[in-house]
Chains A and B, each alone.
Chain A
Amino acid sequence: MILTVTLNPTLDKFYWVDHLPLSLERVEEEILIRAKKSATSAGGKGINVSVFLACMGVDTVAMGFLAGHTGQIILRDVLARGATANFVWIEGENRTNVTIIERGKEYHPVKIHEQGPSIPPQAVDMFLRKYRRMLRRAEYVVLGGALPPGIPADFYRELVRLANEAGVRAVVHAGLTALREAILAKPYFIKPDVREEAEVGGLPARTEEEIIQAGKHAVQQGVEICLISHHVTGDILVTPQGVWDLEARVPLSKYKNLVGADDALVAGVLYRLVEGDSVLDAVRFGMAAAIASAEIEPKLCLVKSFIEREMHEVEVHRKEGG
Chain B
Amino acid sequence: MYTEVVMDHFKKPRNVGEMKDPDGMGEIGNPVCGDMMNIYIKVKDEIIEDISFQTFGCGAAIAVSSMLTEMAKGKTIAEAKKITNKSVAEALKGLPKNKLHCSNLGADALQLAIKDYEDRKAGKVRVRLPMEDAHTHADGDACKCPYCSGEIDPKHEFCENCGREISDIH
Q: Do A and B come from one complex?
A: no
